[in-house]
Chain A
Amino acid sequence: MTGFIVRRIALTVPVLLGITLFTFAFLKVTGDPCAALLGERYTPERCEQIRVRYGLDQPPHVQYGRYLQTTLGGDLGRSILTRRPVTSELKIVFPATVELALAAMLIAVCAGIPLGVIAAARHNSAVDLGAMVVALVGVSMPVFWLGLMLVYALAFKLGWFPTSGRLSAGVHVEVVTGLYVLDSVLGRNWDGFWDALHHLALPAFALSTIPAAIVARITRSAMLDVLGQDYIRTARAKGLGERAVIARHALANALLPVVTVVGLQTGFLLSGAVLTETIFAWPGMGRWIVDAISSNDVPVVQGGVLVFATVFVVVNLVVDISYAWLDPRIRFT
């Protein structure tokens, strides 16, 4: 097991190097930031000044070498647009995304697994059909549209929720982790806690619908596989109640593919959800990196993609390791 983990971690190094090289080459092809920075004020002379200022006039291998060197030292450079260190911006946007992604995944798991289990237990019944229709709607509904509808109905019409942001004006939370709900609990700031939760609810729900639907469908199909196994028939023959069969024998064995999907979906969500973040004015990774791409803010794009890649690699690693924990038959040597 330890050997496996060490091997997997070692493998991440070439993966991340490849990502940095790909990102660098891609940004070289798509142009440099001066035209985006200057807009209507663009002239070739001004553009050249900017290239020189940011070292973009250097040969590509020199630029890449310098980028790798500073990155290995923990310095992701400074945003061309805001002049702030990329790491400083990450400290703001990454926790915001983590909070939103975890909340969305929590809702997805809380809703998706029971839905899938119920559909499988009542296979081919109206309940199964209904659950799968709900899942289909969930996976096909555009997040952008759903977000706007939620804002319109629950925030604008009913006034139950705020329309945007992470905290109301005038509410402050002492930042420890950057996850405001958690930070307000740590600081015993209950007004802050309710306010942060209040702001989190709608975007988390909007973001959760697609992963919830995927989790529900995977759970259902995994459960159907397991429920057809001999040991389930044996359990029923021994007189175990259906609930116990499903909860104790079937569900535990059906979770393996669900864990994979939950892991990968969490990876996607942690990469930021640009549409949800835009609708709800959530200052997360998605909006941050899309803004950076549209303005060719090279250091931010490079830093952001590196963080995305690292998140995916780590999530995949965690998923693989969790296999061993969930299924004792799997042995890593």
Chain B
Amino acid sequence: MPHTRVRLSRLGVIAACLGAVLAGCGSEPTAAPMLPTASSAQAIPTGEPENAGRLVFAHPEDAAKLDPADVTDGESLLVTWHIYEGLTRYQAGKTEVEPALATEWSVSDDGLTWTFKLREGVKFHDGSAFDAAAVVWNFERWFDPENPHHFKDWGFEYWTDMFQGFKGEVDAEGKPKSVFAGAEAVDAQTVKLTLNRPSAPLLQNLAMGNFAFSSPAAVQAAGESYGTPDGNPIAVGTGPYMVDEWSPGERIVLVANPDYWGDPPATGELELRVIPDGSARFLSLSSGEIDGMNQVNPEDIAKAEADSNLQVVLEPANNVGYLGFNQARAPWGNLDCRLAVAHAIDKQAIVDALYAGDAVTAKAMMPPSLWGYDDGFEDYPYDLAQAQAYMDKCLAAESMPAEVVFYVPPIQRFYFPKPKELGELIQAQLSQIGVTTRIESPDWGSLYIPGVRTGKAELFLLGWGGDNGDPDNFLCKLFCGGSADFNSDGQFESPDGPAPRAPDEALDALLREAATLNTQADREAKYQEANRMIHEKVPAVPLVHRSPPVLFRANVKGYEPSPIQMILTGVSKE
């Protein structure tokens, strides 16, 4: 802890003045009720703060909540990865899964029944046993809207994303929407999951932070406060760390779980500190007040590389940023027009100008870190002559609007750190082949994506970050029948939008088949074929894969960069 009383004495008069007057204010009634915070519930007056055995990692926003089943933001998952575990987990630094709370599993020939053997001797942080009953209890809580702990108003958004529906929901044909049908405890250490239809990504999904298990007793005790700073307890899993303190908006402190079944954490205490401003966060790291940080301002990466006290770690990219075409709007239904744009975009110039060495050009709509990526085809080269030739063919068949509506995100996304500049650069590149665009940046929170999905944009910048390390989560998410970004699938949702085009049945069928095959080798071949098909049809121009930088002090060791999770359990200071 760098701050001492000796230094404090320099505050002199100001300190005394502030203290005296604020103390004087104490007799006045305050304008709002002031009750104890979560931190005060465990308040312990202490002496000088001690940093020994404590790793301080700063991020820009506090966790929204610590019930993993109901979070969607990376800031919350950064914390919950350390508290909770699921049946499977991602291998360190990879997207492939390995056993976690399940030690082994098997699947029936029809792909509808999965049987998991559970790890023995595992306990939740509150001392209750992790067993088949706890697993079933969690699944029922997530799946059944009538379950008393599937709290009203809670979204369980990722359950909907990965399992496609809740209990009782049916599609237009009366079939259950949900992939998941039910969970059953065969014995204390064996669980059987039943599916309504085969789901090849199941093991990948179960490794997601959202499907990690909470202690049933803890959820029952805390009720709707579970996972919030008001909860008693706040969050109880089986993971390597336990919640010690949550000062909302300031920090969450985790302490090592002494009864953890696996390797104990390398550092006894892990503090996730909130520092919203990127520059202030970087200054805190430079001064040694914190040990690591994420969400780095692009201009700070070079400074960190030049500072011998700091180290820069790039996470493997798990995203794609792309330029999308609305194929229902002329002339973008014409392949020649899309090919003209594909050849007119100088991706390397984009990466060089707008990224700080933390991105690579993309040729596919999924990142190279995922299996199923096909490296066997060449990207469309930046070639203005070729672009113009395609554009001439395009204009022979189609008419180009005087101004093409081009949606550019008004705020940073993790794949586009400088969206405004990116939009202007692409606008300039397209003008070289005679395409005049009008940049529009409607409000991200309410209008941008609805605008894309209802056909208001003709060209648009958007991206996707992977959830579960499965190619299905990229390719089917973007191109299966339910997705409307590219309006190539006949799914336009807006009644006043342009006429829908025929669905791309071949691609849709290929991706859906790939999601039902049981062996990874079979699936890999299908996704490679899908990648080639997407490359040929050019529904979008993939632009970049960004590797998010993470900074640490030079004395920090043991961090394993990963495309899909940020886990600090093995990290310590020398």
Choose among B72, B153, B161, B453 the residue that contacts A78 (Cβ–Cβ < 8 A): B153
Partner-binding segment picked from A127-135, A153-161, A225-233, A239-247: A153-161
Q: Tell me if B280 and A279 are in contact (CB < 8 A).
A: yes
Using an 8 Å CB-CB cutoff, how does the interface string of B30-44 with A read, 1 for contact, 0 for none? Answer: 111111110110111
CA distance A47 to B494 in the complex (A): 14
Q: Does B21 contact A (CB under 8 A)?
A: yes
CA distance A301 to B463 in the complex (A): 29
Q: Does B313 contact A (CB under 8 A)?
A: no
Choose among B46, B61, B275 the residue that contacts A170 (Cβ–Cβ < 8 A): B46
Return chain A residues, CB-CB under 8 Å to B42: 172
Return chain B residues, CB-CB under 8 Å to A167: 247, 250
Residues of B506-527 whose CB lies within 8 A of A? none
Q: Tell me if A281 and B11 are in contact (CB < 8 A).
A: no
Q: Tell me if B48 and A287 are in contact (CB < 8 A).
A: no
Q: With A88-B230, A162-B3 given, is the CB distance from A172 to B45 under 8 Å?
A: yes
Q: With A106-B21, A195-B49 given, is the CB distance from A44 to B274 under 8 Å?
A: no
CA distance A95 to B46 in the complex (A): 22
CA distance A185 to B22 in the complex (A): 10
Choose among A87, A169, A279, A311 the residue that contacts B54 (Cβ–Cβ < 8 A): A169
CA distance A21 to B567 in the complex (A): 46
Return chain A residues, CB-CB under 8 Å to B279: 148, 279
- How far apart are A252's CB and chain B's nearest CB, in angstroms? 21
Q: Does B15 contact A (CB under 8 A)?
A: yes
Q: Does B276 contact A (CB under 8 A)?
A: yes
Q: Tell me if B34 and A191 are in contact (CB < 8 A).
A: no
Q: Closest A residue to B491 by CB, please name it.
A: A43
Using an 8 Å CB-CB cutoff, how does the interface string of B5-16 with A read, 1 for contact, 0 for none? Answer: 101101100110
Choose among B39, B70, B450 the residue that contacts A83 (Cβ–Cβ < 8 A): B70
Q: Tell me if A182 and B25 are in contact (CB < 8 A).
A: yes
Partner-binding segment picked from A8-16, A31-39, A58-66, A253-261: A31-39
- Most B C-beta atoms less than 10 A away, residue of A40, A102, A186, A270: A40
Q: Does A194 contact B (CB under 8 A)?
A: yes
Q: Closest A residue to B161 by CB, please name it.
A: A41
CA distance A273 to B23 in the complex (A): 22
Q: Does B334 contact A (CB under 8 A)?
A: no
Choose among B8, B32, B289 the residue that contacts A91 (Cβ–Cβ < 8 A): B32
CA distance A83 to B493 in the complex (A): 30
Q: Does A263 contact B (CB under 8 A)?
A: no
Q: Tell me if B3 and A168 are in contact (CB < 8 A).
A: yes
Using an 8 Å CB-CB cutoff, how does the interface string of B425-465 with A read, 1 for contact, 0 for none? Answer: 00000000000000000011111111001100000001111
Q: Tell me if A175 and B43 are in contact (CB < 8 A).
A: yes
Q: Tell me if B447 and A40 are in contact (CB < 8 A).
A: no
Q: Closest B residue to A315 by CB, please name it.
A: B31
Return chain A residues, CB-CB under 8 Å to B453: 42-44
CA distance A109 to B250 in the complex (A): 29
Q: Does B253 contact A (CB under 8 A)?
A: yes
Q: Does A71 contact B (CB under 8 A)?
A: no
Q: With A40-B449, A198-B11 given, is the CB distance from A171 to B444 under 8 Å?
A: no
Return chain A residues, CB-CB under 8 Å to B43: 172-175
CA distance A151 to B66 in the complex (A): 31
Return chain B residues, CB-CB under 8 Å to A311: 31
Q: Tell me if A179 and B22 are in contact (CB < 8 A).
A: yes
Q: Closest A residue to B61 by CB, please name it.
A: A291
Choose among A88, A200, A270, A295 the residue that contacts B445 (Cβ–Cβ < 8 A): A295
Return chain B residues, CB-CB under 8 Å to A35: 445-450
Choose among B17, B37, B70, B276 the residue that contacts A110 (Cβ–Cβ < 8 A): B17
Q: Tell me if B35 and A91 are in contact (CB < 8 A).
A: yes
CA distance A280 to B449 in the complex (A): 33
Using an 8 Å CB-CB cutoff, how does the interface string of B123-165 with A read, 1 for contact, 0 for none? Answer: 0000000000000000000000000000101110100110000
CA distance A39 to B17 in the complex (A): 48
Q: Tell me if A172 and B39 are in contact (CB < 8 A).
A: yes
Return chain B residues, CB-CB under 8 Å to A78: 153
Q: Tell me if B18 and A201 are in contact (CB < 8 A).
A: yes
Q: Closest A residue to B48 by CB, please name it.
A: A191
Q: Tell me if B22 and A94 are in contact (CB < 8 A).
A: no
- How far apart are B482's CB and chain A's nearest CB, in angstroms? 7
Q: Does A19 contact B (CB under 8 A)?
A: no
- How far apart are B107's CB and chain A's nearest CB, in angstroms? 28
- How far apart are A261's CB and chain B's nearest CB, in angstroms? 19
Q: Does A325 contact B (CB under 8 A)?
A: no
- How far apart are B100's CB and chain A's nearest CB, in angstroms? 25
**Can you add 18 more A-B contacts, CB < 8 Å, to A88-B230, A151-B283, A307-B32?**
A31-B445, A41-B157, A43-B484, A83-B65, A85-B230, A91-B34, A95-B32, A106-B18, A155-B289, A163-B280, A164-B280, A175-B37, A177-B26, A181-B23, A191-B47, A198-B8, A201-B11, A277-B276
29 sampled A-B residue pairs with Cβ under 8 A:
A40-B462, A44-B450, A44-B454, A44-B493, A50-B155, A53-B153, A81-B64, A92-B229, A92-B249, A94-B32, A95-B32, A106-B18, A155-B289, A160-B10, A162-B3, A164-B289, A168-B1, A169-B54, A170-B50, A172-B245, A175-B35, A175-B36, A176-B34, A179-B30, A187-B45, A194-B8, A197-B18, A198-B15, A295-B445
6 nearest A-B pairs in the assembled complex, by CB-CB distance: A283-B249, A31-B446, A170-B49, A175-B40, A36-B445, A178-B34
Q: Chain A residues in contact with chain B, CB under 8 A? A: 30-33, 35-44, 46-47, 49-50, 53-54, 78, 81-85, 87-96, 98-99, 102-103, 106-107, 110, 147-148, 151-152, 155-156, 159-179, 181-182, 185-187, 189, 191-195, 197-198, 200-201, 204, 270, 277-281, 283, 287-288, 291, 294-296, 307, 310-311, 314
